[in-house]
Amino acid sequence: MMTTLPTTAQLTERARTALERCGASGFEAPAPTGQSARTPITGEPLFDIAYSTSAETDQAIGTAQETFRTVWRDTPAPQRGNLVRRLGELLREHKDDLADLVTIEAGKIRSEAAGEVQEMIDICDFALGLSRQLYGRTMPSERPGHRLMETWHPLGVVGIITAFNFPVAVWSWNTAVALVCGNTIVWKPSELSPLTALACHGLLMRACQDVGAPMGVHQVVLGEREVGARLVDDPRVALLSATGSVRMGQQVGPRVAARMGRCLLELGGNNAAVIAPSADLDLAVRGTVFAAAGTAGQRCTTLRRVIVHEDIADQLTDRIVGAYGQLRPRIGDPFDDDTLVGPLIAERAHTALHGALERAAADGGRVLTGGERCLEKEAPDAYYVEPAVVRMPSQSEIVCEETFAPILYVLTYRTLDEAIELHNGVTQGLSSAIFTQDQREAERFLAASDCGIVNVNIGTSGAEIGGAFGGEKDTGGGRESGSDAWRAYMRRATNTVNYSDELPLAQGVNFL
């Protein structure tokens, strides 16, 4: 077990350095006006930062709206793309600085933190190309001398509410695409990850200066639920993109709908992988372990259920438990290159993990490995845990819930129909996978999985930016990142152009 952790003083200095290098300034605010930024690595506060007041939040929305109306929506899309291009260049220059902040605030191991920043770079590349490809259609008109077409236009102010587990990538998915579509941004990050937001805002402001874009295109507001609620309820926010729990989405969605606003919701997942008898077990074990234990089980795409054929269940389970044994000595300092599992975000995640394990045991589950807290002596205010594997006799109530912690439930099946029924038998619908070398099984699963992401012979996590990201059912139905997800940030207009000197009506109607 790794036991050497950096001190809070060391992490504080590293965070300050990264923030200053990214162009963030004036971020510290003494108590009582400030709130503490914390790190899950030691569980202790770093320094105080200023939260946004209600008046400051309203002003931020107003600035974004005015910038949209007076400048940004009329700026040609390729010029808007130039801003995103420059942001991508700055992200490349400051990849290590941002990765430092992601590790300090979210507890991600170094390679995952760097990978998250790479996602930001990739989406900037994607959005730059998109700025010249916001295509509409031309359709044949039934009337002579007429042209029928559709055009796409920006919405206005886009509010973005992000979660702690991907503190910068999800912001970039929304921001890069929304900006080239002609929208302006107000971002409310998680109260658990404000420092990454300040750094990203600093880099984007530098990009605005470098290319001559208006500074008002992007605003950051810091705070807790009250600040997010102002974005939810303000009619000036044309689209609210919110990432978080299903419960959060169930509250946000109706409130935005009540004011006839638009929502883009990315909510919880309870992701499963079906392991068929024909599966390459080496591949299945590797894919399962990363998807289940990566980010200490704190991804929305984390693998939470393995549905394995009963003929290979014991063999697969033994191999997964063996692989988890190799993780145990590699839990610890996420800055250490040998570490594979960093800390949980906070005490409440640890409480949820143990509550779930107790409920699983009451339902007949058997913990095969993990679930124990570690490094408690070295960091009494931090929460490091051994990822757990639990053999379950059935898909009980606790298995159908998402516990945002590293618990992997193992269930068995006899027929593929039964596996698909188990897989779809939860309210969430984000990511799914099947491991099989049988093409018929693979194709049936691709058609039958009710998730927004369906994979074959890879795990449930690790989406690329080229595809649209999002899920169905309680996951919210939103789509971000690649493919045609850009359409969520624009409004469609159907246009008819009459270039004749007649005025025929559609459907042969005669009137005058």
pLDDT one-digit tens code per residue, 311-334: 999 999 999 999 999 999 999 999
- Measured over all CA atoms, what is the biggest interatomic distance in the chain, rounded to whole angstroms? 88
The angle, 0 to 180 degrees and rounded to 10, between the axes of the packed helices 194-211 and 169-180 is: 30
Range(s) within the chain of domains with CATH label 3.40.605.10: 8-232+479-492
pLDDT of 92 > 80? The answer is yes
Residues 6+ apart with CB under 8 A from 3: 332, 375, 378
pLDDT for 3? 65
CA distances to 293, 339, 413 from 432, rounded to whole Å, are: 16, 27, 16
pTM equals 0.96
pLDDT for 1? 53
pLDDT one-digit tens code per residue, 13-29: 999 999 999 999 877 77
DSSP assignment of 65-133, as one string?
Answer: HHHHHHTGGGS-HHHHHHHHHHHHHHHHHTHHHHHHHHHHHH---HHHHHHHHHHHHHHHHHHHHHTT-
Judge contact between 20 and 193, C-beta under 8 A.
no
Active site residue 441: no
pLDDT for 463? 87
Question: What homologous superfamily does CATH list for 271-465?
Answer: Aldehyde Dehydrogenase; Chain A, domain 2 (3.40.309.10)
> Which stretches of 398-438 are DSSP H helices?
416-424
Rounded mean pLDDT of the chain?
96
Give residue 278's pLDDT band: very low, low, confident or very high (50, 70, 90): very high
Vertex 380 angle, CA 375 and 386, to 5°? 35
Range(s) within the chain of domains with CATH label 3.40.309.10: 271-465
pLDDT for 45? 96
Task: Tell me the average pLDDT across 164-170.
Answer: 97
Instruction: Give CATH for domain 8-232+479-492.
Output: 3.40.605.10
What percentage of the chain reaches a pLDDT higher than 70?
98
Which residue out of 266, 386, 402, 480 is catalytically annotated?
266
pLDDT of 61 > 70? The answer is yes
Distance from C-alpha of 56 to C-alpha of 54, rounded to nearest angstrom: 5
User: Per the structure block, which two tokens stand in for 433?
Assistant: 């996978």
List residues bridging with 342 in a β-sheet: none
Question: What is the gyration radius of the CA atoms in the chain, in angstroms?
Answer: 24
Give residue 205's pLDDT band: very low, low, confident or very high (50, 70, 90): very high
Distance from C-alpha of 482 to C-alpha of 172, rounded to nearest angstrom: 12
C-alpha closest to that of 81 among 129, 133, 120: 129
Judge contact between 27 and 197, C-beta under 8 A.
no
Strands 138-139 and 146-154: antiparallel
pLDDT of 34 > 70? The answer is no
User: Per the structure block, which two tokens stand in for 483?
Assistant: 């493919």
Provide the residue type at 348 as one letter.
Answer: R
pLDDT one-digit tens code per residue, 118-162: 999 999 999 999 999 999 999 999 999 999 999 999 999 999 999
pLDDT one-digit tens code per residue, 370-389: 999 999 999 999 999 999 99
Judge contact between 104 and 15, C-beta under 8 A.
yes
Task: Tell me the average pLDDT across 263-273.
Answer: 97
Task: Tell me the average pLDDT across 42-63.
Answer: 96
3-state secondary structure 355-382: HHHHHHHHCCCEEEECCCEECCCCCCCC
pLDDT for 25? 80
Judge contact between 481 and 453, C-beta under 8 A.
no
pLDDT one-digit tens code per residue, 110-125: 999 999 999 999 999 9
